[in-house]
Structure 1
Amino acid sequence: MSATSLRTQPGNWDMSGATFVDAGINFCCFSRHATAVELLLFERADSPEPLAVIPLDPQVHRTFFFWHVLVEDLRDGIYYGWRIDGPVNTRETGSRFDRNKLLLDPWCTTVSDLLWERLAAARPGGNLATAMRSQAVRDAYDWEGDTPCHIPLADAVIYEMHVGGFTSHPSADTRWPGTFRAVIEKIPYLQELGITHVELLPVMAFDRQDVPPQTAALGLENYWGYSTHSFFAPHPHYACDPSNARDEFRDMVKALHQAGIGVILDVVFNHTAEGGADGPLINFKGMGNEVFYHLDFVDRSQYRDYTGCGNTLNCNHPLVTRYLIDCLIYWTHQMHVDGFRFDLASAMARGEDGRPEHHAPVLWSIELSPQLGRAHIIAEAWDAAGLYQVGDFPGFRWAEWNGHFRDVIRAFVRGDKGMVAQVATRMAGSSDLYQARGRLPSNSINFITCHDGFTLWDLVSYNHKHNVANGEGNRDGHNHNLSWNCGVEGPTDDPAILALRRRQTRNLVSLLMLSQGVPMLLAGDEVLRSKQGNNNTYCQNNELSWTDWRLVEDNQEMYSFWRGLIAFRRRHPTLRRNRFLTGRAAQPGGLADITWHGLRLHKPNFEDASAQVLAFTLAGATPDEEHLHVMMNMWDNDLQFEIPDLPPRQWYLAIDTAAHPALVEPSRQQAVSARQVAVSAHSVVVLEAR
């Protein structure tokens, strides 16, 4: 087939990407400074040569800065790409046109990387035989009445997981390991655990080859997925049939919704897979480098890198803002996701000059969009260039990963002294960060661990990172981990150390689930998964990173504790308040919503630089809810805590992280009649009054 044998029409400029219309497929892309544009069509994903090359006449196929053509009678599933030429004086203009490079459609919803070679796309010359292809796939999906879950964040328990790693281990025993379909097979497990949302590490199509050369030489690849190239397309390697990735993703979302579980996507709008000046041309660079990226003010061949990944998306350029908003609307309305977590979101707050803007157009457009009004929006409120906005992120509806919560709770539980005032503030919802600006406790996403750093078990097993396997000389990953190995670095057979480590994990989990705000846990922490001290497994697509399902049985006690704590939180609305605590009673003569204590009642020792104990009484949110009394002892000795007398209610022991079992169901709880309670060293005790 040649271009002359195809029938074409001018097409429309207001249909970005490949759009099926009655007469055929309308193709459209953006390139302001292009001088020549060609559309290439391919029969298959692995076709080394195009079956047709269609040159676009700017007098016919260009409107404003959009290039468009309608090709009649094309079959469903055709593969395609663009070649674009234009000015090459990059140092002055920022343009990086290369007429020999095949470019992906930034709006494509299905993509193939079957032939992809990243290095070939970074070298001069053509790359037809090694480029990715976009695919035009007709959309006829039947949602069967599915809608997003709309579970309020205040009631959420978020489970951060990697789609591939969740089921790739042989012990997962799934039919399609490492795929969207395999996640469906594990939904009963997620239901039993009790979480309300999964937060998926990047599922938008990313470049697995985007790793440093020394890392690639070890046979490693980009595993986490923070290297997006196609923001509208699901990652093809998470699908059994890459050409059907969009519908396989939808099947997973629909199944999760049927189980009452919401879906939050981790999106990477701060940078792309195209890297810096020596990186490949995939799409944006070859269409409008000077539009899509922050470039150096003097030498526009260089990139301003606020992300540590070689480039930074110019999010507040009007076209880029529109592109990103359209992307979010697509994933909410066409893919039915419930929300988004934005990686290095503070990079999105930078204006076109690179300076932080409190009224950053892209962030406020997301905040105020009526089409995104019911989607959860969560910011990782910092970037890699020193901008840290936890508590001060633009907007009001945005929730934030609360890095202060993580650091304070880690330090307190490992035994740092003088932390109790900070612990009280964090567990009460971080009012110092959010209340003055009219925000709510649910603006705080509380977490102890996440994909980036130690797992929960490694946090109590290692003082230092052990990242040599990544091929970067142990230079990568964080050094400030606030961890404590309990006496021995790494694995040990010492029963006393192992017992202490297990108790410490229960302490960390308890403080997380007893805090106001929104708790998030890392997949595998509920069964004490280890990454052997590697706190940056971005490149480890192997058993080091995968969930080992044998641990569910091996660490059944910890799994049961997690499950019980999630249920405990669910039956206690007082732990899920969406207004800040006041220290006052809701009704005259009633119990204050919160009262702080130390070993002695009403004496929390907030000013004591050596304090390692804290307690509080939390009133029930409704008249028939139990009051709670929480006691935390991070000292090396057992201690006696006074407890308040609340007649006619009686205290019952619900949680003791030093006991076995550590959590007791209400029907089996023992009454506490003494005026003092013994709390073991390095442990947490919780009482319920009814």
Structure 2
Amino acid sequence: MKKSILIIAYLLLASIGFGQSFTGQQVKQGYAVFSDEVSFIFDEGIYNQKPTKVVVTGSFRGWDTNMDNEEWQLKKIGGQWILTFNNKDFKVISPQAEFKFRINEGEWLSPTDVSPNTNAGNLVFMQNTILPGLKAELKNERLIWANVVGERPLDPKAYIITSAAGDTIKVKGVLPNEATSTLILPETPLDKKRVYYLHIPSQKLSALCSYDGWFRETFSTKELGANIDNGKTSVRLFAPRATLVKLYLYKDKDDTKAYEVIDMKEDEDGVWEAFFDKDLHGVWYDFTIHGHQDPGNLFYETTKAHVSDPYTRVSDDTWGKCRIWHRTTPATPLASGIPAMEDVIAYEVHVQDFTDRLPVDESIKGRIPAVTKRGLKNSKGQKIGFDYLLDLGINVVHLMPIQEYLHYPTDDWKASFENDEYMISQGVSEENYQWGYRTSHAMAVETRYRTVGKEPGEERNEFRDLVQAFHDEGVAVIIDIVPNHTAENMDGNAWIFNFNGIDKQYYYRTKDLEHIGDYGNEVKTENRPMTQRWLIDQCQYYIKEFGIDGFRIDLAGQVDQQTLIALKEAIGQDKIVYGEPWIGSNDPEFEANPSWDWYKEDSPITFFQDDSRSAYKGPVFKLTDPLTDRGWAGGKTSDRDAVMMGLENSNKEDKTPNSGITYLDIHDNFTLSDQFGGEKFDGRTSVDQDNYKIAVTLLYTSLGPLVTNGGSEIMRSKADAPLKEVVKTTNKGYKVYMHGYRDTYNHRTANQYAWETVGQTPTAGNTNDYKNMFAFWKGMNEFRLSEYGKVFRIADKAPEGYYQFITPKDEHQLGYIVDQKVFVLLNTGDTEATFKNVELPAGNWKLVANNDAVNIQKGVKDLKNLKRLKGGSSQDITIPSVGLKIWVKQ
């Protein structure tokens, strides 16, 4: 929530010409406290930055990303930027709140190495200060656990309990447990399904009695959802605070009246059950969840809403009823096993993007069966689609979300935008296109990926067949899961699909009984065993029913550490798992608990290694200057040291090569071709291909697993989406936010594979050599997975000297010998460079890659040097401007 702040004029006036006097400690921690006033301090020297704008944001302002809000802009005074405001009674920012500085057009800055107050990549305000306060947990009908910080009365009369209905309950007993933890006994039993508050009137302290006390101990191992076994059907739903759950059965999805309504029975663990001595395959169903009309509740009595099953196998387009369906027989496993993490070359691809322009029948265009359609070629006779992907040589296909996800209703969407020129140009005037990061039903396969004309549920077999097709070719399949938020609260909307209506207080992190979260809500896995189980169940489920080989976890930093540890154990250590460590929770209790909160240094899964990414090819949030915004590969010489750390896996959080997964671009932000798309950062017709190839070389000569953005091998650009912010509203009032090609999550045309570029060489109007770039990338995959590439595919920390770096004075140049077997020379300068007195280990060294080609079998031609080098003696080697060369020892 925004809070108005007051800039203190006298501070600024006193600082002009003289500089505000802050201690070194205050400067390093990024803030200073003077009585009721707080100053944020951004020091250019510490950050080694000279920005044009500095803004502070953090949990205290909901991590608002608006760079133009003057209330949060710092003012430049000498070499420092200052923002001062009144923080009396901590009304603006409270102790332990996390914050970060952003500069220029929105670049996020991580804390510096000298910052003493850091947590999970953020700065922390008054990290060691704890204010007097009260926290309460409803344990059961006869017990409240209270945590009293500060003066703690032990007289029962000092406490009062009130209900949301306005009733007052006296306290009959108080006993201390630890220094602050306290047992509170109500005089009369409470109804633990209702809302209560605990008060200490003399200290003006009040607290909601959270449900953590009994929720953290409520657990069931019963199989949830609708399941058919031996001709009998069971339906189970976990709804711990419901007073009644009704199950409705329908013969058709559009039926307005159920043919049967069942009052489900609750067991001792909050699981509601119904059993049938018959096979209900194909029957449609939903529920009503009944409960008290207390604040924060969204039960039927308040909303009159029917809810769907979060465990359903079939949800036809999110809205409305679900369908009971048989279990799916999984694909057979990979014959040679799942690739070890260090061997992974993952290829991220979106089903619709990959298939929209394939020459296939309209019934499967943009849908699952088109992904594995064989024998497809473009007008040049080049392989496209499935055959193209196999030819590329990756060993893992990483599918962007295929779990049922939210689309806005087509009727409303089309009526709103069918004549809108902008929406027409982006390919989204007829229906809502999405990447899928808004899961509505985690166990169901996205039904818009089903063949047109097939009945709801058939998408399950189609997805299983996709997995089988890749397995038959020796390629692993992983899926992108989105457990950190759900579709129910996206884009400022508040829908009731399942969790909101089943029990918002159980499944989500809340504050004052309402949602928190940068994406509308945050799913709560800590202190919620059944939400924790929901995450683990969905992963086990996709393995058991489809045979997939692993997961990429979206915004994994919002999932508690213990859940991720349990997940890996439950699915098996052979499964591929990686995810995003950034963007933590907006719940300060989560962030303050080291058993839940984590970042790269204590990551329970392989994390996206953004430090290497930024060093290799530059930042992801802005593109303004080709010399500074394309990393070392683009000519930013100051990044050379960071490049070397990335290559040898020596970033501070890297414990082993498998700690992080290295990448250049991914679905978020700008594509690699646009980043290297000349002065205008537009890769559609003119990519700086030599710089591009140097970045690719850095990627493929790094230790540990790799993930690539699908289409980068043919320089796929997204610049068809104009770089401007556009907000649209449907006729029913749903907001639509379009960000252009910096974030094309809902731009269809910009994301589509331009299959006609496969095999295309430069033309008068387009200098991009797509044919050569594909061949280069294919060669790099072959090199990486060859015997030579084993030097990069190691699981344990490399010994000292594994990379022997050659670092000429000119930082445009870099060389390295890896494990005495692979030799790389790179030059990002615009003039030819000679590496003097290079000493290679004795032996014959074959040139297998340069700017023109990669060929590990025959080697590549080279005009400047012999095709082979002789090791064992000192020699000079010349590299062309913006050039690369790789040799291998034979």
How does the TM-score come out when normalised to structure 1?
A: 0.78
C-alpha offsets along residues 84-103 of structure 1, whole Å, 9 cap, x if unaligned? Answer: 12122224x68686562121
* Residues 143/688 of structure 1: CA separation in 2 closer, same or farther (3 Å cut): closer
Displacement of 1:680: 2.0
Alignment partner of 2:796: what SS? coil
Structure 2 residue corresponding to 1:454, chosen from 655, 670, 673? 670
2:880 to 680, 684, 690: 680
Give the Cα separation in 2 of the matches to 1:97 and 1:245.
35
Q: Which moved more, 1:215-224 or 1:279-288?
A: 215-224
Pair 597,389 (structure 1): closer, same or farther in 2 beyond 3 Å: farther
Asked if residue 391 in structure 1 is aligned to residue 600 in structure 2, the reply is yes
SS in 2 for 1:544: helix
1:105 matched residue in structure 2: 309
Cα shift at 1:648: 4.6
AA partner of residue 478 (structure 2): I
CA contact (8 A) 1:171 1:550 kept: no
Q: Is the 8 A contact 1:332 1:375 kept in 2?
A: no
2:250 is aligned to 42
**Is structure 2 residue 529 aligned with structure 1 residue 342?**
no
Higher strand share goes to which structure? 2
Q: 2:804 aligns with which of 571, 579, 595?
A: 595
- Tell whether the 8 Å contact from 1:157 to 1:196 is kept in structure 2 after alignment: yes
Does the aligned pair in 2 maintain the 1:221–1:540 contact within 8 Å?
A: no
Does residue 314 (structure 1) correspond to residue 534 (structure 2)? The answer is no
* Residues 413-424 of structure 1: pairs in structure 2 closer than 5 A: 413-424=633-644
CA distance in 1, matches of 2:600, 2:250: 50
Deviates further, 218-227 or 257-266: 218-227
- Whether the 8 Å contact between 2:335 and 2:474 is mirrored in structure 1 is no
Q: Which amino acid aligns with 1:67?
A: W
**CA deviation profile, 1:196-248 (whole Å, cap 9, x unmatched):** 0011111110001299x999854463511000011111111112133212111
Residue pairs, 1:551-630, within 5 angstroms: 551-554=757-760, 555-571=770-786, 572=788, 573-584=790-801, 593-599=802-808, 611-620=811-820, 627-630=821-824
Partner in structure 2 of residue 190 of structure 1: 389
Residues of 1 paired with 2:279 and 2:651: CA distance?
A: 58
Contact 1:415 1:612 in 2 (8 A): yes
Within the candidate set 20, 27, 51, 2:235 is matched to 27
What is the rounded CA distance, in whole Å, between the counterparts of 1:426 and 1:611 in structure 2? 16
Amino acid at match of 2:338: H
Counterpart residue number, 1:365: 566
Aligned residue number for residue 150 of structure 2: none
User: Percent same amino acid among aligned pairs?
Assistant: 22
1:671 is matched with 868
Alpha-carbon distance in structure 2 between the residues aligned to 1:415 and 1:155: 30
What is the rounded CA distance, in whole Å, between the counterparts of 2:272 and 2:479 in structure 1?
A: 31
- Cα deviations by residue, 1:32-60 (Å, 9 ceiling, x for unpaired): 12123221112223x23133241416xx5
> Retained in 1: the 8 A contact 2:232–2:277?
yes
SS of structure 2 residue aligned to 1:205: strand
Distance 1:652-1:364 versus aligned 2 partners, 3 A rule: closer
Question: Which shifted more, 515-524 or 82-91?
Answer: 82-91
Partner of 1:432: helix, strand, or coil?
coil
CA separation in 2, counterparts of 1:392 and 1:433?
4
Match of 1:332 in 2: 543
Q: Is the 8 A contact 1:415 1:634 kept in 2?
A: yes
CA separation of 1:680 and 1:142: change in aligned 2, threshold 3 A: closer
Greater CA radius of gyration, 1 or 2?
A: 2
C-alpha distance in 1 between matches for 2:446 and 2:285? 17
Cα distance between partner residues in 1 of 2:406 and 2:751? 18
- Alpha-carbon spacing, 1:196–1:48, altered in 2? closer, same or farther (3 Å): same
Shift of residue 377 of structure 1?
1.5
Partner of 2:507: 292
Which fold has the larger relative contact order, with Cα–Cα distance below 8 Å and residues 6 or more apart in sequence? 1
Shift of 1:345: 0.5
| Equivalent-residue separation in structure 2 for 1:581 and 1:142 (angstroms) | 38
Label 1:145 to 1:635 Cα distance change in 2 as closer, same or farther (>3 A). Answer: closer
Amino acid at match of 1:649: G
Instruction: Give me the whole-angstrom Cα distance separating, in 2, the residues matched to 1:508 and 1:210.
Output: 42
Asked if the contact 1:24–1:74 (Cα under 8 Å) also holds between the matched residues in 2, the reply is yes
Structure 1 residues 346 and 393 mapped into 2: Cα distance closer, same or farther (>3 Å)? farther
Q: What is the CA–CA distance in structure 2 between the aligned matches of 1:512 and 1:26, rounded to whole Å?
A: 50
Q: Does 1:444 align with 2:660?
A: yes
Task: Tell me the alpha carbon deviations over residues 79-135 of structure 1, each in whole angstroms, 9 at most, x when there is no partner.
Answer: 1111112122224x686865621211111111112xx6xxxxxxxxxxxxxx42211
Change (3 A) 1:559 1:138: same
Equivalent in 633, 642, 646 of residue 426 of structure 1: 646
Which amino acid in 2 is paired with 1:287? I
Q: Distance in 2 between matches of 1:13 and 1:568?
A: 47
Cα deviation code 1:441-481 (max 9, x no counterpart): 022211000000112211111xxxxxxxxxxxxxxxxxxxx
Q: Helix, strand or coil for the counterpart of 1:231?
A: strand
The separation in 2 between residues aligned to 1:446 and 1:210, in whole angstroms, is: 38
> What's the counterpart of residue 488 of structure 2?
274
Matched, 1:16 2:228: no
8 Å Cα contact 2:606-2:661 kept in structure 1? yes
Contact 1:148 1:336 in 2 (8 A): no
State the 1:381 CA deviation.
0.7
Is the CA contact 1:346–1:382 (under 8 Å) kept in the aligned structure 2?
A: yes
State how far apart, in whole Å, the 2-side matches of 1:62 and 1:553 are.
63
**Which of 250, 256, 260 is the matching residue for 2:470?**
256
Give, in whole Å, the separation in 1 of the partners of 2:298 and 2:555. 24
Q: SS of the residue aligned with 1:449?
A: coil
- 2:581 counterpart letter in structure 1: A
Distance 1:647 1:318, change over 3 A: closer
Aligned residues of 1:450 and 1:521 also touching (Cα < 8 A): yes
Distance 1:309 1:132 in 2: 23
- Report if the CA contact (8 A) 2:334-2:476 is conserved: no
- Aligned to 2:662, the other structure's residue is in SS state strand
Distance 1:172 1:681, change over 3 A: farther
CA distance in structure 2 between the aligned counterparts of 1:367 and 1:69, rounded to whole angstroms: 32
Q: Is the 8 A contact 2:672 2:692 kept in 1?
A: yes
RMSD: 2.9
Tell me the matched-pair count.
581
- Unaligned 5+ segments in structure 2 are 1-219, 374-384, 418-422, 424-428, 592-596, 618-630, 724-740, 761-769, 862-866
**How many Å separate the matches in 1 of 2:406 and 2:585?**
23
The residue aligned with 2:402 is 203
Counterparts in 2 of 1:511 and 1:18: CA distance versus 1, 3 Å: same
The residue number in structure 2 matching 1:653 is 847
Distance change (3 Å), C-alpha of 1:628 and 1:64: closer
**Cα 1:389–1:654, aligned 2, differ >3 Å: closer, same or farther?**
farther
User: What is the aligned counterpart of 2:610 among 378, 400, 403?
Assistant: 403
Q: Which amino acid aligns with 2:480?
A: D
Structure 1 position 384, deviation (Å): 5.9
Distance in 2 (alpha carbons) for counterparts of 1:611 and 1:40: 69
CA spacing shift, 1:272–1:511, aligned 2, 3 Å = same
Give me the TM-score of the superposition, normalised by structure 2: 0.61
Q: Is the 8 A contact 1:43 1:50 kept in 2?
A: no
Q: Which runs of 5+ in 1 are unaligned?
A: 1-11, 117-130, 350-359, 462-484, 585-592, 600-604, 621-626
Q: Check the 8 A contact 1:38/1:55 in 2, yes or no.
A: yes
2:325 is aligned to 137
Give the distance between the partners of 2:248 and 2:752, measured in 1 at CA.
39
